[in-house]
Structure 1
Amino acid sequence: MLSKSLQKTALDYRFQIASYVILTFYGYFTIGLSLAVLPIFIHEILGFNTIIAGAVIGSQYIMTFFMRAYAGTIVDKKGPKPAIIVSMICFMLTGILLWAAFYTSASPLLSISLLAASRLLTGCGEGMVGASPVNWAILRVGDQHTSTAISYNGISNYSSMAIGAPLGVILSQHLGNWSIAAFTILVGLIGLISTINKKALYSLSTEVRNSFFSVLKIVSPFGIGLALAGIGFGTISTFITLYYNYKGWENAAICITCFSTMFVLGRFLLTGSINKIGGVKIALYSMIIESVGLLMISFAPSPLLTIIGASITGLGFSMVFPALGVEAVKRASSANKGAALGAYGLFIDISLGVSGPLVGLVAKQFGMNFIFPFSLFLVLLGVMVCFILIRSKAKS
């Protein structure tokens, strides 16, 4: 009877966490809708090169970088609800600008300017929603469930893109690009209504809040490992459609779906391993698996093997964020949890923001065949960072 009671309690906590991180799903679903469509639109319809395409798409993550600090401060002082309300409004405005960009495609400079503005608004929305639902969940269920909350938040994140990316392609092909914009507005509205109807929660800690940059310094060793691991995902999400076009293959969105599906599966199956084995060790094993996936993509002679490589990459990358995130958040006081998660999240924003123009430059200078070997090299540097963290912990 006691065992059943404990199982029921654990299930209740998971449902409570899910009821908050569904807000992450709404936010990232709007991002996923245009993920596989925009690179082709910018490169083939508007006629801009891969560096411009990567820079425009990557600008989202630059804005996210700047908004994370602000969002962390709001979460620690006023709770997560205000931050998420702002994010959903940003996603709705993104949809409006997307519609305008698609409508003005006959004027490439105007269209690309509207797209750039839409990506900045998307970045603002992502920055505000990124760590806010998981903080809301932790406030509801307690710090002891941090790893589960972070993992479930990632499941919402990447499952939304697994669904959103191919759906965006289908909408574009059968209804036109305007439908992606309309769907973005609709989902943002659903997220806004859901957020408004939830009870606000606040941190009751009386501890002194540290400056954001002091918290950033604390979490940075773990964030650097995350940033290097994120290059693999950044390359797949931004360039897989162009890579498929270069190879003469079709259905590139399947790669994003398989990556995201295996990512979600990894989160479901391996979340409990963090507390048993240790966050840094799990991150190390995960990056090695991610490296194997990127190696397969680099030399895959067919779409099928590329899809398998993307799936392995997704499985490997799945546990990096929560594994290193748990270790990072442990080092922050309870009054700085929001800032710690926000500061830690900055590193994935840096990774995804830099990967667009950087990998685009590699593609332009050396060719599309070199983008995944280059990403593999950076992920292997992340493996080395984990080795250093493990050794430094052993010495202390």
Structure 2
Amino acid sequence: MLKLDAATRSILAVVLFTLLCYVEIGLQMVVVSLFVKEQLGFSLVWAGFAVSVQYLATFGSRGWAGNRIDLVGPKTVVLWGLVIGVLSGLVLVAAQMAQGLPMVAFALVLAARVTLGISESMVATAALVWNIRRVGTPHTAQVISWNGVCSYGGIALGAPVAMTIYQNTPSVPGGLSAVGLCCAGLMALGLPWAAMQPAVSPLEEGKRLPFLSVLGKVAPYGVVLAGGSIGFGAISALYALYFADRSWQGAATGLSAFGVIFVMTRFVLTGQIARHGGLRVAMFSLLAEACGLSVIAIGHTPLLADMGAALTGAGFALLFPALGVSAVARTGPESRGAAIGAFSVFLDIAIGLSGPVLGMIVPVGGYMGVYLTAAVFSVLGAGLCLAMISRDA
């Protein structure tokens, strides 16, 4: 039997809420773009925007969520985030019901995505801070790693389940409606468990740094994170449409491969961050991600594309903890929630903009242009890491 130490058991009790949140994200990720393009008849750019708007909403609410965590405590923020996640699923049901009015249905899809983005900023950020305060700052890397395992493991689990539901549900109630009900039920399951967990006290207001000050402290690491996050944005927003455009099967398989390899890399290689330093690990991670994105770009079969997605997941896996430990350490414990929120803002911006912006490349350079562009940003991020390593030497 696998034996877990006390810190790991404590972490797992709370990181479950991150898992629930990202399973919902995985459930919506694949089917929303297909619904908007194929059933509502909107363009590729709008389909990509419907996916990416979630991350723009997360970006817009990160600072507020981080300050609320430091003010009222992370448990309260997690509970409200779960409630908002339930609402997101129910609004998707309404969007399916309004399918006969495409503009109304599209507006409801956007509303569902925005509420999910707010839910993500609350649940994921608060669960991180809740765990750090429960087990102590020496376990920060372990907390961030488990949070990432549940984040992308949740996406890997949710994506194929959503495709199965979407493709095999009768027109009434409809595939999107069935996925929405699944999302709402899943987040509702977390509410009683969250209520049972012991809270940690909010910190004194007078000691907290202004959010913009915190943002400035973590910005060098956040810019590098943004460079690597564009690749994930390209996969999350456009991968299913890429496969549909080529009449390929297996888009959900690629998303799952991304998530599974991401989780395995986190489990096996997280210790390399302490051994070699966060910036060095981030640099090599970004180069691996660039290789994976290039394989997606030049691969001419579904298998090669899925292999490229898996390699991208391996490269992206250590980026957040490798950079995040150093970024969070630049602030005091009284601003921990704001620091995590500020650092995550760079990921949100990159992913949120990548869907619609990269979607504009498709008519000009095709999907090859999309993924090669994302690969270039990963290489630029690796170059920034090298410059920061040289500066600190």
Normalising by the smaller structure, the TM-score range is: over 0.9
Matches of 1:141 and 1:266, distance apart in 2 = 23
Q: Retained in 2: the 8 A contact 1:50–1:364?
A: no
The answer for the alignment partner of 1:95 in structure 2 is 89
The answer for the alignment partner of 2:194 in structure 1 is 195
Q: Retained in 1: the 8 A contact 2:297–2:367?
A: no
**Mapping 1:364-375, distance limit 5 Å:** 364-375=363-374
Q: Retained in 1: the 8 A contact 2:222–2:344?
A: yes
Relative distance call for 1:392 and 1:203 in structure 2 (3 A) is: farther
- How far does residue 168 in structure 1 lie from its aligned partner after superposition? 0.4
The reply to whether residue 212 of structure 1 matches residue 204 of structure 2 is no
Of residues 254-263 and 193-202 in structure 1, the stretch that sits farther from structure 2 once superposed is 193-202
CA RMSD of the aligned region, Å? 1.5
2:184 counterpart SS class: helix
Relative distance call for 1:40 and 1:231 in structure 2 (3 A) is: same
Equivalent of 1:139 in 116, 133, 137: 133
Query: Which AA in structure 2 matches 1:196?
Result: A
Q: Retained in 2: the 8 A contact 1:207–1:333?
A: no
Of residues 221-230 and 51-60 in structure 1, the stretch that sits farther from structure 2 once superposed is 51-60
- How far does residue 174 in structure 1 lie from its aligned partner after superposition? 1.8
Q: Retained in 1: the 8 A contact 2:91–2:111?
A: yes
The reply to whether residue 341 of structure 1 matches residue 340 of structure 2 is yes
Q: Retained in 2: the 8 A contact 1:210–1:336?
A: yes
The reply to whether residue 295 of structure 1 matches residue 294 of structure 2 is yes
Of residues 240-249 and 150-159 in structure 1, the stretch that sits farther from structure 2 once superposed is 240-249
Relative distance call for 1:281 and 1:230 in structure 2 (3 A) is: same
**Mapping 1:124-273, distance limit 5 Å:** 124-175=118-169, 176-202=175-201, 208-273=207-272
Q: Retained in 1: the 8 A contact 2:32–2:50?
A: no
Matches of 1:238 and 1:15, distance apart in 2 = 34
Equivalent of 1:79 in 68, 73, 84: 73
- How far does residue 123 in structure 1 lie from its aligned partner after superposition? 0.9
Matches of 1:313 and 1:248, distance apart in 2 = 22
Relative distance call for 1:87 and 1:364 in structure 2 (3 A) is: farther
TM, length-normalised to structure 2: 0.96
Matches of 1:389 and 1:129, distance apart in 2 = 32
- How far does residue 98 in structure 1 lie from its aligned partner after superposition? 0.1
1:327-371 CA distances to partner (integer Å, 9 max, x unpaired)? 101111111111101100111100111101111111133322311
Of residues 152-161 and 194-203 in structure 1, the stretch that sits farther from structure 2 once superposed is 194-203
Matches of 1:241 and 1:54, distance apart in 2 = 10
After superposing on structure 2, the runs of 4+ consecutive aligned residues of structure 1 that deviate more than 4 Å are 203-207
Matches of 1:135 and 1:188, distance apart in 2 = 20
Equivalent of 2:12 in 13, 18, 29: 18
Matches of 1:385 and 1:202, distance apart in 2 = 38
The answer for the alignment partner of 1:70 in structure 2 is 64
The reply to whether residue 49 of structure 1 matches residue 48 of structure 2 is no
The reply to whether residue 115 of structure 1 matches residue 109 of structure 2 is yes
Q: Retained in 1: the 8 A contact 2:95–2:109?
A: yes
The answer for the alignment partner of 2:172 in structure 1 is none
1:65 counterpart SS class: helix
Matches of 2:168 and 2:249, distance apart in 1 = 16
Query: Which AA in structure 1 matches 2:365?
Result: F
Q: Retained in 1: the 8 A contact 2:286–2:315?
A: yes
1:219-263 CA distances to partner (integer Å, 9 max, x unpaired)? 010001001100111111111111011222112110100000000
TM, length-normalised to structure 1: 0.95
Of residues 101-110 and 150-159 in structure 1, the stretch that sits farther from structure 2 once superposed is 101-110
Matches of 1:263 and 1:359, distance apart in 2 = 23
Q: Retained in 1: the 8 A contact 2:86–2:188?
A: yes
Gaps of 5+ in 2: 170-174
Query: Which AA in structure 2 matches 1:349?
Result: D
The reply to whether residue 30 of structure 1 matches residue 28 of structure 2 is no
- How far does residue 56 in structure 1 lie from its aligned partner after superposition? 2.1
Relative distance call for 1:177 and 1:56 in structure 2 (3 A) is: closer
Matches of 1:229 and 1:97, distance apart in 2 = 31
- How far does residue 11 in structure 1 lie from its aligned partner after superposition? 2.3
Give aligned pairs, total: 387
The reply to whether residue 318 of structure 1 matches residue 312 of structure 2 is no
Question: Identity of counterpart residues, as a percentage?
Answer: 35
Query: Which AA in structure 1 matches 2:257?
Result: C
Q: Retained in 1: the 8 A contact 2:69–2:77?
A: yes
Q: Retained in 2: the 8 A contact 1:51–1:364?
A: no
- How far does residue 25 in structure 1 lie from its aligned partner after superposition? 0.4
Query: Which AA in structure 2 matches 1:372?
Result: Y
Matches of 2:278 and 2:114, distance apart in 1 = 33
Of residues 256-265 and 188-197 in structure 1, the stretch that sits farther from structure 2 once superposed is 188-197
Q: Retained in 1: the 8 A contact 2:17–2:124?
A: no
Matches of 1:95 and 1:150, distance apart in 2 = 27
Matches of 1:69 and 1:33, distance apart in 2 = 26
Q: Retained in 2: the 8 A contact 1:98–1:181?
A: yes
